[in-house]
Each structure stands twice: as structure tokens, then as C-alpha cells.
Structure 1
Amino acid sequence: LTVDEIVRIARVAAADGITTFRLTGGEPLLRADIVEVVRRLAGVTGADGRPVQVAMTTNGIRLPQLLPALVEAGLDRLNISIDTL
């Protein structure tokens, strides 16, 4: 999906009461525009007018390089999976 498509789906879901979006599946940090995805999702507001929460599950492969930018973009929670070990 493009960033616009992800955000469009998130807006519809947030309007119906979804309050948290978790980025996962494969390895989200391999996506070249992952910081932009987080930034755009963090700008989505829920039905109550409050910003949604943005979470991510990752194996951490690019975390040292991307963590500061992800936090700045609005990442609220991070789950590091060690399944790859």
C-alpha cells in the first residue's frame, strides 16, 4: 500500500473507534518511507478528536538508524520481536 492508502484506511478505522494502529508484518523498518508512514498515521485523529496511538512490532534490524526519527514522527510504542534468533 502507498502511504496515502494506509492513511485513508486509518482515517476510516479511526472514525469508527479504532484508537491504535500497529505496524507489523514482514519487517516494517525495511520500508523506505516508514518514518513518513508513522508521521502521517500519528496525525490521524479518532472519533473523540484525540490522536491515535502508533505502535510497531519489529525485529529491530534498522532500529539504531531509525529510532530517533520514528520517535520524532510520533511512534508511541515499540515491540521488539526476537523470533529471528
Structure 2
Amino acid sequence: MIVKITNFDENAEIPYVDYEVSQLMQNQMDFLNNNLDEETSIDDDILKIRVYFEDFFPFQSDVAKIRLEDFISREEIEMNVFLSSFLEDM
């Protein structure tokens, strides 16, 4: 599984982060698409996930603005771990 952040907007009415997840089997994509609480869709062989952050946006700190690539990488890893654990319930 490969998780990539493709977009984020901390200035939106409700800040969000968009993820694309690739290298999943079709049954895994379907399971995640049908069972995650987040906004999801499937486009060809890519699972797209939009996560809204009402309380704390992960890239809002001053440090995140300086080292944005590090924070993006960490969020991608955290989403990968979350999805992997979620798939264990499959």
C-alpha cells in the first residue's frame, strides 16, 4: 500500500487533507470505501480519501510551515498505519 497526500487546505471552511492510496487489492479498496467514516471514492485503481479536521489541522504549526515535507511524510505514514490496522478487521 502506498499513501500519498495530494492536496490540503487549512483555510477551507473545514480544513481537509486529500489522500490517494494505491497498490491495494480490489477487495481491500471496496472494504475501505464502504467502511471508513471519511469521504472516500475509487478512481480506477486508486482509493481517494478526504479527511476533515475540525479541531486540529496537522500542518498549522509554525514548525510544519518550515518543514512541511517532513510533516506531510509523517501524515502519510500515519494514514498507512491506520489503514493497515483497519484492513485487519476485513
Normalised by the length of structure 2, the TM-score is 0.27
**More strand per residue:** 2
Normalised by the length of structure 1, the TM-score is 0.28
